[in-house]
Chain A
């Protein structure tokens, strides 16, 4: 199955979404990501029992934090899918890309861009 998905999605592999912590998500935005989503196993199918459920809670917490920061929690999303759901993976990649396109660039990156223009 050779499915196309937007090339702007950069994949970072982790052994389990339960390994993803709040700080990892924040640092992605801090370094300029416009959006981040986590693709975890289907709920109930975690090899480590609750890894994906914990990831979901951390995502919810980080969304609120991003709202507080002023970046917007909607730039972060948790999805669940199995390894066998290739089309779903591609669909989510397009859905998230569309959402981010609508929201525009990460305001931090935008501001840094401005600064570079001015100094450059």
Chain B
């Protein structure tokens, strides 16, 4: 899933300083799973902003909505009837949702309430961590199912670097060295000989470096 985290309240409230009619929109997909932009977080943000503004003596009118998801036009359509009544829309979706809403409603000012962090997993309840950089050319078959690009702090394809100590990364004692994980995994799978194959210099053109990306499936198009 895409993992996100709410922005500091002060940043959000300063974005809407001069507005009095606000629509807050949550998203029922990834940010619901990572508890950043569910219906519940929409309620909490609305209540918090209400209090901030009441405290300043500038009460604000807030409407709350939570869509199935914000990265699909058909769900965004559900706002069509009333979005125009609000001076601003605060989206509690990932960066994709915020932008797509802005694309669909050209006359509305759409603001982000979340910082979109990464593609990751739920390690345990309340703990999420990164697994994928969306590099566009998966290499997990070469590295025992552990991604060197996402899990190594330097994205080394032939690691570990000299900073790996006691299985931890040089940048933090709390961070496991990605290459330690790769080696353990290759060893468990009886594939340690794979470690000695040099992975050639990467083609980053499938990554963001190649420009904004797009996937087209002609067979599915209408």
Q: Hey, which bits of chain A sit against chain B, CB under 8 A?
A: 21-23, 26-27, 29-30, 65, 68-71, 107-108, 111-112, 114-115
A29–B54 alpha-carbon span in the complex (Å): 11
Q: Hey, which bits of chain B sit against chain A, CB under 8 A?
A: 8-10, 40, 43-44, 47-48, 50-52, 54-57
* B51 touching A71, Cβ below 8 Å: yes
Chain B positions within 8 Å of A114 at CB level: 57
* B56 touching A65, Cβ below 8 Å: no
Known: A68-B9, A69-B9. A26 touches B55 (CB 8 A): no
Known: A111-B57, A114-B57, A115-B57. A69 touches B51 (CB 8 A): yes
Known: A68-B8, A68-B10. A111 touches B55 (CB 8 A): yes
* B47 touching A23, Cβ below 8 Å: yes
* B9 touching A65, Cβ below 8 Å: yes
The 4 closest A-B pairs by CB, nearest first: A68-B9, A26-B47, A108-B54, A111-B57
Partner of A70, one of B40, B43, B55: B55
* B51 touching A29, Cβ below 8 Å: yes
Task: Specify the main secondary structure of chain A where it touches its partner.
Answer: helix
* B40 touching A108, Cβ below 8 Å: no
Shortest A63–chain B CB gap in Å is: 13
* B52 touching A69, Cβ below 8 Å: yes
A69–B44 alpha-carbon span in the complex (Å): 11
* B44 touching A65, Cβ below 8 Å: yes
Q: Which residue of A lies closest to B8 (CB)?
A: A68
A71–B12 alpha-carbon span in the complex (Å): 17
Q: A30-B50, A70-B55, A111-B56 provided; 5 other pairs, C-beta below 8 A? A: A23-B40, A26-B48, A30-B51, A71-B51, A108-B55
Q: Which residue of B lies closest to A27 (CB)?
A: B47
Q: Which residue of A lies closest to B10 (CB)?
A: A68
Chain A positions within 8 Å of B48 at CB level: 26, 65, 68-69
A30–B52 alpha-carbon span in the complex (Å): 10
A1–B36 alpha-carbon span in the complex (Å): 47
* B10 touching A111, Cβ below 8 Å: no
Q: Taking each of A71, A108, A115, which has the highest tally of chain B beta carbons within 10 Å of its own beta carbon?
A: A108
